Structures are given as C-alpha cells and as structure tokens.
Structure 1
Amino acid sequence: MSAAVTTVLGTSVPPFTPHAISVSLPTWKDNVGYEEGEKRVIDAMVIGYPRFFIHLSIRKLASICEQKFGVNGEKCLLCPTKRVAEECRAFMLSRSAEAGTTIPIRLVQFVVCPEDKQANGSSQNGANCVELHIVLFPADRFPLAKQFWQHAGKGISSRLAERALSILPDDIVHESSPPPLHAVRPMKLMNRHYSRSASIPKSPTMSAPPSPVIPSEEPDTIGADESTYLEERYGRNLPVEAAAAAKRAMRRRIAGVLVNDDHHDAHAGSNDVEIGPSSRGVSDVTEHDVFLYPTGMAAIWSAHQLALGTRPSAKSVCFGFPYADTLKVLEKWGPGCHFYGHGLDSDLDSLAELLEKEALTSSSPPVLALFTEFPSNPLLRSPDLVRLRALADKYDFLIVVDETLANFVNVELLPYADIVVSSLSKVFSGDANVMGGSLVLNPKCRHYPELKTYMAANFEDCYFDEDAIYMERNSRNFRKRIYAINENTEALCDFLRARSLADGASAPCAIKDVYYPKWSTPENYERCRIKAATSDHERDGGYGGLFSLTFTTKAASHAFFDALPCNKGPSLGTNFTLASPYVVLAHYAELDWVEQFGVDPGLVRISVGLEDRVTLLSAFNKALKAAEDAVRSSEVKQ
C-alpha cells in the first residue's frame, strides 16, 4: 500500500482517505496560520487530527442531534457510552465550579436503528443499531467541552458517526448540514498549562507530488459501503461481525504471546492459534492484561484514572518533556502534578529529594504515579528506568511508561513499569486511517492484584468495532515494518548528523543537532533495547522511526521544512515519511517557555516511513541544500 505526497493545504494525509488522522499543512506559514486561526488555512481544512478537529461526519451527526434534542441553541458532544458522557459532564462541572460558575448540562441517549430508515422506505438489512450518548450544554461552553474531547480522547469516532448517518432516515440527514468549518476551528487550546504473513507496503514516492486537487466537502470518492466491501472482498479486513476476534488478535499481538505472529494473518484471534510465553520481558503477561481504547490519550487518561482509583491520593509526577496532553491530564484530574521537564539525571536527583522530604511528613506514598515517555517527544530522551523503578519500589508509587515512540519490537519496558501505554494510531497501525490505544498491566508488579481487580470492575470497551477491524488488519505486518523503518531512520540520521554542528561539520552548517535515541541519553535507551544475542528475540531492536532536527538559523529551519518533498502534517509512525514543525503545533502559545527545557521553536520533527532508502536520502539532501542556501544568504546580508 502506498501513499502519495500531497501538497494541497487542508486535505487528508494520506490523500483521498475519508478517515485519515493527519492533514496536509505543507509550509511553515501554513502551520503558523493553523495555530493563529488564519481564515485561509481554517477554511481549507476538510479533515484534521481527530482529537483536535471534529470530523465532518461527526459534525453533521452532532448538528442533527442538536436540532432534535437541543433547546435555546445548545451545542453538544457525542459520546459512545453513558459512562463516557457522565465523565464528560463531571469534568465540565468540576472545571466550571473551580471558576466559580455552574453549567446546566443534560445527557440524552439516542438509539439509531435500521428500522428507522426502513420506515421511510429504505432498507439496511444486517446493520446494527448505533447507541449515542449526547452531552448538551450552552453553546458558549463548547471550548470547555472540547477540552474533554481532546484530553480524554473518548469521543465517538468518525466511522461510528458514518454508521449512524447511514441508518438515519434520509430526510433527516439531507435536511441537516454541518456548521461551516470556521465555526469549529481545530481544537487547539492556548497551551498555558505548563507555566502553570503480511508483506511490507510498497514504497511510496516522495519526489512527484500529484497535481493539486480542489478540496471538497467529501475528501474521498469511494463511499463507506463500497470501501468496506473492497476491504472484506479482497481479504484485507475481517468482516465487522468478527470484531471480537480482531480485538482478541490485537491484545495477543500487544501481549507478545502469538507464536509466529507474521504467519497468522487474519487468524490471530482464533481459538486454536498457538500461544506462548510473552516476549515483552515479563513472560507471565497474557492477552487478559491488555486493554484496548479508542485513542492513545484515552489509554493515558485511563491509566491515570486507574491510579486514582487504586492508590492513596497524592500528586502525580510527569518526568521528562512529554506530549502536551499527558501533562494536561495529570493537572486537570486529581490532586495535581510535579513536573520535571528535562528528564535528565539532574531531575532524578531533584525527584529523589522531593520523595525523601514528602515521605518524612506522611505515612502515605509521597506521590501517586510517575508518568514518562520512552523516549520523549520531541527530544527523544530516554529516562533512567532502572533508577526510577528503584525509587518507585522504595516509595511505593506506580510507574506508567508511554512506549509509543520506541515500541515493544525495539525495547523491553514492561519489567520496569507497572503500566505500559501506547498510541496504536501510530506505527502499530502505520496506515494513518484509524485511531486506537492500549494499556498493559505488569503481572509481576507489587500492585497488580488491585490494578487488575479495578480493571475487571471498571473497564468499559468503547472501541468501535469497525475501527478495531481496520486496526487489526493494519497491525499484522507490524514487526516487519518496524525493522524496515528502523533501518531507514538510522541511515537518515547518520547522514544528517554528519552535516551538523553536533558532529563538527564546517560552514555553511544548517543543522545544529539531531535528536535521536542513538545519541540522546543513549545509555538509558541501550539498557532497554532488545539484543537478540541475550534474549529470545530473532533480531536486535532499533532506535525507532522518529527524530528531530534543530537548525542554526530560523531561516534555515523554515527553508528545510518547506523544501522537504514529503507529506507534512500532525501525527507520526506512518508508513510514509511525515514531517512537522512540532513545537509550533504543540506549543505555539508558549514558545518562550518551552525553550527553557531545551525545546527549540524551530525544531522539525520527522517520522520516517518505508520509502526506498536512496529516494529518502535524496529528498533530505535536497531539503538540506535549501537550508544551507538560506544560511549562506543570511551571511551575505550580514
């Protein structure tokens, strides 16, 4: 499967993908315009990252629900279950109470069934009912509701919305139109919280972008029914009725218990498949220790709720500079958070001092849980998990590790963690057409019994079946893709670092540094990297598919990004190379502040794909020459 490069602002990445999870922002100026709400950019967008941009199908369905159930111009948020709707209401009430206000919030259950459409002269044999839980509130409180949608990651998926629209009576669907795009600007909040045997997909091209296409309201020419038919007809997807088996296959894949996973294809969820000890570094892990979620953030949010529900109340710790929403979750739910933004040994020393001091004044554990990424996004720093585990054992708190960037093909993190979370939307999927997340419990950890008991009583499967079907299909060749992406990324990073100040390159030097686990806190990464010679794994783990570049001048940074002939937009872990001015997108309202943690506003983050390596090197050489030309030009002007 290949993905062409799109240079059309606001269209889906990959192109012509109705449920794409990235959007084309091809120039530095476009990314700034997105953050500033520039009309030129916002009006061009027909899709976006699902937690920040409400999909057109969801907007249309929400508009129908508002017309049917709303009063006095109420807006709504659509949730997949009653519990999620109640969690949304509780969040909104709590945050508004802190601000000294109250909000009238209503919950409505709406069940859409095929007979609703049949009663209007149309038939949808075989379709299942769709249950929606609608959170209604005054229109001016929509920004607060968006926070729940973004941070908790548990709103309905676009596929669920399309299923509901497909079985609603035609007259209702056709009468309702979604509000104009500028009325629902992508969900970017002003980020001030810190300061407070499948084969590998064929190589896509990077050098010949397609002719520009005028974006339309519908970004794909293939209808939902036709798309589902094609996926099932040619054996790529299981039928939707097999969703339970698809989820079981993914849980086994993530647990590392499938023997010869590459040869199971669509049968990994069957009852007669061969199961063995886990390859995750803790042999006792089973599929029953793995829990699936609709997004990676939902897994992180749920890990925090799990900690809050099983351990004595205390602040959490966020160790290292994290993905932005992780810290928001720790701050906005529960007692708060201690933030150690560098994630280096000096922060470990400070954390140890805090723990010792807090332990002297209370008989309860000094902190609730420590959340960290391995490695971190976007600086690719890896924490010292050995020392963190020792502190957790001494002071009795949980460790939650986000393994999204490294992934369990490359590293063994579970031995050091109580809980491991991951965004399956990234390289586990690779195709950038579906969201998902996972949470894994370590059966060897001290608090496993109470964690497992809590999950047995409280876990709710709200992962939409059709999304699970797509995710399972995408993940079948996960390991093969990881190894290919590892090799591509290391070759690119070696090439770029040789032309950087960090490696002593001579003028005109455009690259300041290359952030990549091979050079960023390498001793901590190597301690967890899988070595075939000392484990049961057939191959060594690599350094993952993500790296970041900083530049010697702002002009060089912009020139490199604009000249790089690859897809550009949010997300990472795609089978195709994807670039982003990450700091602009994640921290635009706090650029001065993030610099104190070594996060350069001109940083460019690269997620490497499966393209031919020669093509990749040529593409990056082209962009590097543009950056070096920008350096020369600035020197002449001086």
Structure 2
Amino acid sequence: MSCVAIQEQIALGAAVPALEAHAISVSLPTWEDNIGYEEGDKRVIDTMVSGYPRFFIHLTIRKLAGICEQKFGVNGEQAMLFPTLRIAEACRDFMVHRSSQQGPAVPVRLVQFLISPENASASTATSMELHIVLFPADAFPLAKQFWQHAGLGISSRLAAHCLSMLPDELKPSSPKIPPPPMFTKRNASNRHYAKQASFSYSPQSTSPPPESITETFDADHATYLEERYGRNLPVEAASFAKRAMRRRIAGVLVHDTPNHWLQAGEQSAELGPSTRGVMEVSEEDVFLYPTGMSAIFSAHQLALGAMPLAKSICFGFPYTDTLKVLQKWGPGCHFFGHGLDKDIDELESQLAREHAENPGVPPALALFTEFPSNPLLRSADLPRLRALADKYNFLIVVDETLGNFANVEVLPHADVVVSSLSKVFSGDANVMGGSLVLNPKSRHYDVLKAHLSQTYEDSYFGQDAIYMERNSRDFRRRARTIDDNTEAVCDFLCAHPETVKEVFYPKYTTSRHYEKCRVSGAGYGGLFSVTFRHPQASRAFFDAMPFFKGPSLGTNFTLACPYTILGHYLELDWAAGYGVEEGLVRVSVGMEHRELLLQGFQKALRAAEKAASSIDRD
C-alpha cells in the first residue's frame, strides 16, 4: 500500500479495507467526521455502508432480518438473528430483565427458522438453523445492547449463506431493506444509520481456489474470490480450520508453515509442548468464539457459572464493552480504572477488609484486565495480582489482544486468557473471531473445564473460521514486522516533546510490568496512543495522517482513530478522569515500508506543529 492521502483512496463511510464484502472497519477520515458519526450528522451517516460489526449491523444481516420480520413478525416487530437457541434465549432474558427494572417487561418472542437449499436432495442438503428474536420496534436499543456487548450475533458471511439458500418467493424482486436501525453505543439519542444498498450474489462453486491464486490476486480479485468461493469450500474444511487455529493458539504446532488448509489441522500434524509459557496447554484447552467480545462475555459467564457468586473486578481502563459486561451481568463489579500499582494497593486493602467482615463469603468472582490496556497501553503487575487471586480464591482473566501471544506470556499468571482474533491474528480485517484459553496449571482448571465441557457451544460459522485460519498462517511473521515498525514510529514521536505531550506504548508505559511477561526477543505490539500539548494539534495531526482512519486495530495496514471521541463521546469528562484525554489519537501500525511510514508521521507531526504555533501566536 502506498503512502498517499487516504482521503483520496477511501471515501467517508466506505468499507475499510476497500472493496471488501466483509470489511470490519469504515472510513472516517477527519476529526469532524468522527464527531459527526457520534452525533448522527446526516452528512456522515447517509454515506455509511460499513462499520465495525458489533456497532454497525451489516447490510446483508439487515436484509435477512427484514425477510424474517416479514415472514414471522407481527405488529411491526423487529428481529435480531442468532445462530443457536441458547444465545437467542440469553438475548431474550437480557431484554426482559433490563426492561423490567424500569417498568413492564418487554414482550419478546423466539422463532426457529430452518433454511434448506433449493433443488438439493435430502442426502446432500445442508440446512442452516437461524434463531430469531422478535420484539416491539421501540425495544431495539435493548436488543442492540445484547448484540454489541455479547458479540454473539450472526456474521455477515452466515447471513449471505442463508440468503443464498432462500427460495425465490422470499426474495422480493426489488428488495426493500428496512430503514437501518440505530447502532447506539450509549443512549437512544445517538443515532447511526447506513444508506440502503442493493445486493447481488456471485455464482457458486464446489471447490476452493488454488492457494497460489489467492496469494497473488489484487484486491478486486480477492473480493471476487471471497464472493465466488467463500461460501462453498468443502464442509470438512471448517473442522480442519478450527483445529488448526486451536493448535496455533495453544502453541503446540511444531512446524506452523502450512500452505494448504488441511496441513495444520490434520491428525498427522506434528505437535509438541506448548510455547505459551505453560507446556501442558493443548488444543483441548482452546475454545473458539465468533468475536473477541463473545470470548470475554463467555469468560464472565464461565466465572458466574463455575465460581461462588461475588462481584467482579475490572482492573485498568478497559475497552468499553468489557466494563459494560461486568456491570450488566451478575452482581456488578469494582472498577479500578487507572490500573496502576496504587490501585493494587487499594484493591488489596479492600479484599482484606471484605474478607475480615465476611470470612465465609468470597470477596471477588474474577479480575479482568487487559495486557496491555486499550487505549493507554498500561500493563498491570500480573504476578502481584496472581498472588492476590490465590490468597482470596478468585479468577484472573487476561485479555492479551494488544500484547498478543507472539510478544507476551500471560498464561502463567492467568486462569483464563481471552483474545480478539479479529485483530493482528487475522490482520486482513475481513473476518471476526475470538478465543478463550484455560490454564491447565490453574487450581480452578478442573471446575472450569468441566463447566465449559457442559456448556460450550461452537457458534463460530465455518466459513468465517476458514478465512481466519487462512489469514493467521503468517501471524508471527506479520507481528514481528508490525512490532518493529511501531517501535520506530513511537521513537520518532517521542523525539518531539515540544509538540507531543505523551506517547502511550509498552516500551515507555509501565514498562517494568510489561517486561515481566515479554517473550525473549519479542516486541511491544502494534498499537500506541499519542496526546498533544494543544487540542488543535491533535486534530491537525489526525487529519493530516496519510493512513486509513476508522475503528478496529491490528490490521496489516496502518489504521488510526480519535479513540476517546469514538469510544466515550458522551462521557468525555469521566474518561478524562482516568487519563483518557479527549484529544487522544490511537494508532495501529501496519506493515507498510518503514520509510514511508515515518514520512507519513512526519507529515502529520508538521501539521500538528503548525496548528500549535498558530495557537501560540494568537
């Protein structure tokens, strides 16, 4: 990718990556565009045809939901679509419980919809099962909360697959997509819409494209292959892909350089002791989920089901939905939002006090922390937290997404490790996924494994798994390149303290705690945040960056966003109280040529310096 102005490459509201049917980001190229997005500005909203899947419901999913509403809905009911009955029931329970806290419980209906392909014999037909949650239209914000927080809704590939099997009578000749509902982040007044679009479906095939072709085709051809072949890979490929990923995440593949979807997932693949810092880890300790957030949600559900009931602990300023999950399910949580050593001091005092007052009642259920945290890149003192968990008998759940297991070994300090595979593990930003790993050396392993064995559902759509496995084969090589690029960019920015206020990056931020878990010779990850001495400098820097701009991170290309604006627009003062300033810019560095990267950041820094100097003159 050449280092030219992204505003010239991807228009406001278009998919990032461009021309990607299942892109997981959207172009918001200026600071004002991001504010417009948050405020529901028609100039921004009417252009949007893509977005992060848990916030923006994909247009293909909306089309399928509209068909389900027409077929099964009454009195203007709206629908949310889920892959299993248990997930649909969880959505219904959440909506009923939350609505009953403020008034009458919202009426929610569940419908099972079995879709079989047309013109297929009974012996060859492969049916798809959808579970539809139907509710009054004014209850949509509640349903959307579950969709966003739990991350368990159907994927765009699953929706496209279902649409391809529906009989013609269910497909209007001029399909009317329902007006896109709100994808509100925090309240019902913050409306986000996407414009209507038409849908077409490519011809079908019975075999996957040759690997050599998928490697060399450009973006247009890659999109064509996704549309033409993505829904029709052999059925057995999904099970092989999932096994390959579980082995890759467990760190047990001795030779992880496969050129074909069978190799890392076949029974004869050479396996060895885990490289995850706990040699006993196996693929049987790894569980896959449709999104990173669903892995976090499921870790919390696991704790609620397997451990004595108590409040959770959220340690450090987390990604927004993690805190929401801990607050909205179960008895709530204690929030230590700075994530510094002084917070551990406070936590230790609180645990001792609660234990003394009620020695028979567990003082905590589980402590959730990110290593490092998003967006401040702070690393907690995991050995010290582990000692507290052992003393007071609660779980440690670590989200390793930003550090990633190529760089950090957090499993020895955790009972459960979760990660968003949608980020650097994938890199291509065209598929979602998540993982949960149990530590077999944990004192709680037996009870956690037994509970998961009884309750785990594999709701990860096979075609998504196939693309995720394909993307992740060169994960470690890409991680090294991204780490080196990020370190060079951060060192460059740190050399300009007259304009740059602070660079948040594990090399500089709580570095001694990061070093305790850093893999020998590994890097510091691909994400950093930066603040400036003048608010206008933040805006100028962001607007001038010649890179893609939109939500998500861990992409093979550089991707930036004004994180606090996007994540906490309606609670800016609250976020600032924990050090997350309004002008913070978060940057996920990609694999571009390093000189081009540095030239791009130099250009952005000059714009920031110019904006700051003009303020000083005034």
Question: What is the TM-score when the length of structure 1 is the normalising length?
Answer: 0.89
Give 1:262 shift.
2.5
Q: What do residues 50-89 of structure 1 show as CA deviations (whole Å, max 9, x unaligned)? A: 0000101000000000000000100110000011100101
Q: Distance in 2 between matches of 1:59 and 1:216?
A: 10
Query: Are 1:19 and 2:16 matched, yes or no?
Result: no
Query: Are 1:574 and 2:555 matched, yes or no?
Result: yes
Equivalent in the alignment of 1:340: 336
Please say if residues 416 and 436 of structure 2, whose CA atoms lie closer than 8 Å, have aligned partners that are also in contact.
yes
Q: Distance in 2 between matches of 1:336 and 1:176?
A: 47
Please say if residues 191 and 588 of structure 1, whose CA atoms lie closer than 8 Å, have aligned partners that are also in contact.
no
SS at match of 2:577: helix
Please say if residues 191 and 590 of structure 1, whose CA atoms lie closer than 8 Å, have aligned partners that are also in contact.
no
| Matching residue within 214, 236, 246 for 2:241 | 246
Give 1:635 shift.
1.4
Equivalent in the alignment of 2:140: 142
SS at match of 1:83: helix
Equivalent in the alignment of 1:549: 530
Of 331-340 and 88-97, more deviation after overlay is shown by 88-97
Please say if residues 318 and 369 of structure 2, whose CA atoms lie closer than 8 Å, have aligned partners that are also in contact.
yes
Q: Distance in 2 between matches of 1:2 and 1:475?
A: 23
- Read off the aligned partner of 1:525 and give its amino acid letter: Y
- Read off the aligned partner of 2:404 and give its amino acid letter: N
Q: What do residues 277-316 of structure 1 show as CA deviations (whole Å, max 9, x unaligned)? A: 0000000000000000000000000000000001111000
| Matching residue within 149, 153, 166 for 2:151 | 153
Q: Distance in 1 between matches of 2:50 and 2:78?
A: 21
Q: Distance in 1 between matches of 2:246 and 2:350?
A: 37
RMSD value over aligned CA atoms? 2.3
Query: Are 1:461 and 2:465 matched, yes or no?
Result: no
Q: Distance in 2 between matches of 1:127 and 1:463?
A: 20
Give 1:235 shift.
6.3
Equivalent in the alignment of 1:598: 579
- Moved segments of 4+, more than 4 Å: 1-5, 123-127, 224-233, 235-238
Please say if residues 3 and 14 of structure 1, whose CA atoms lie closer than 8 Å, have aligned partners that are also in contact.
no
Please say if residues 371 and 379 of structure 2, whose CA atoms lie closer than 8 Å, have aligned partners that are also in contact.
yes
| Matching residue within 84, 87, 105 for 1:84 | 87
| Matching residue within 400, 406, 410 for 1:409 | 406
- Read off the aligned partner of 1:105 and give its amino acid letter: V
Question: What is the TM-score when the length of structure 2 is the normalising length?
Answer: 0.92
Give 1:130 shift.
1.4
Equivalent in the alignment of 1:441: 438
Equivalent in the alignment of 1:353: 349
Q: 1:111 to 1:191 in 2, by over 3 A?
A: closer
Equivalent in the alignment of 2:225: none
Equivalent in the alignment of 1:217: 197
SS at match of 1:439: strand
Equivalent in the alignment of 2:224: none
Q: 1:148 to 1:216 in 2, by over 3 A?
A: closer
Q: Distance in 1 between matches of 2:295 and 2:478?
A: 24
Give 1:467 shift.
0.2
Structure 1: 5+ residue runs without aligned partners? 193-214, 501-508, 532-539
SS at match of 1:317: strand
Please say if residues 151 and 329 of structure 1, whose CA atoms lie closer than 8 Å, have aligned partners that are also in contact.
yes
Q: 1:76 to 1:176 in 2, by over 3 A?
A: farther
Give 1:101 shift.
1.7
Query: Are 1:588 and 2:569 matched, yes or no?
Result: yes
Equivalent in the alignment of 1:528: 517
Q: 1:141 to 1:96 in 2, by over 3 A?
A: same
Q: 1:281 to 1:229 in 2, by over 3 A?
A: closer
| Matching residue within 254, 277, 280 for 1:284 | 280
Structure 2: 5+ residue runs without aligned partners? 190-194, 216-229
Equivalent in the alignment of 2:257: 262
| Matching residue within 316, 321, 324 for 1:325 | 321
Please say if residues 240 and 469 of structure 1, whose CA atoms lie closer than 8 Å, have aligned partners that are also in contact.
no
Give 1:510 shift.
2.3
Q: Distance in 2 between matches of 1:569 and 1:26?
A: 7
Q: Distance in 2 between matches of 1:45 and 1:619?
A: 26
Q: What do residues 586-621 of structure 1 show as CA deviations (whole Å, max 9, x unaligned)? A: 000000111111111100000000000000000000
- Read off the aligned partner of 1:217 and give its amino acid letter: A
- Read off the aligned partner of 1:447 and give its amino acid letter: H
- Read off the aligned partner of 2:402 and give its amino acid letter: L
- Read off the aligned partner of 1:487 and give its amino acid letter: D
Q: 1:222 to 1:175 in 2, by over 3 A?
A: closer
- Read off the aligned partner of 2:62 and give its amino acid letter: R
Equivalent in the alignment of 2:34: 31
Please say if residues 22 and 569 of structure 1, whose CA atoms lie closer than 8 Å, have aligned partners that are also in contact.
yes
Q: Distance in 1 between matches of 2:481 and 2:302?
A: 36
Q: Distance in 2 between matches of 1:128 and 1:3?
A: 45
SS at match of 2:508: coil
Please say if residues 12 and 22 of structure 1, whose CA atoms lie closer than 8 Å, have aligned partners that are also in contact.
yes
Q: Distance in 2 between matches of 1:148 and 1:454?
A: 23
| Matching residue within 589, 601, 604 for 1:608 | 589
Equivalent in the alignment of 1:518: 507
- Read off the aligned partner of 1:150 and give its amino acid letter: Q
Q: What do residues 416-450 of structure 1 show as CA deviations (whole Å, max 9, x unaligned)? A: 00000000000000000000000000000001000
Q: Distance in 1 between matches of 2:601 and 2:460?
A: 38
Give 1:98 shift.
1.4
How many residue pairs get aligned? The number is 592
Equivalent in the alignment of 1:169: 167
SS at match of 1:592: helix
Q: Distance in 2 between matches of 1:64 and 1:445?
A: 47
Please say if residues 191 and 589 of structure 1, whose CA atoms lie closer than 8 Å, have aligned partners that are also in contact.
no
Equivalent in the alignment of 1:309: 305
Please say if residues 313 and 366 of structure 2, whose CA atoms lie closer than 8 Å, have aligned partners that are also in contact.
yes
Please say if residues 51 and 187 of structure 1, whose CA atoms lie closer than 8 Å, have aligned partners that are also in contact.
no
Please say if residues 432 and 574 of structure 1, whose CA atoms lie closer than 8 Å, have aligned partners that are also in contact.
yes
Equivalent in the alignment of 1:418: 415
| Matching residue within 9, 14, 17 for 2:12 | 9
- Read off the aligned partner of 2:197 and give its amino acid letter: E
SS at match of 1:217: coil
Q: Distance in 2 between matches of 1:440 and 1:2?
A: 38
SS at match of 1:597: coil
- Read off the aligned partner of 2:100 and give its amino acid letter: A
- Read off the aligned partner of 1:234 and give its amino acid letter: I
Equivalent in the alignment of 1:558: 539
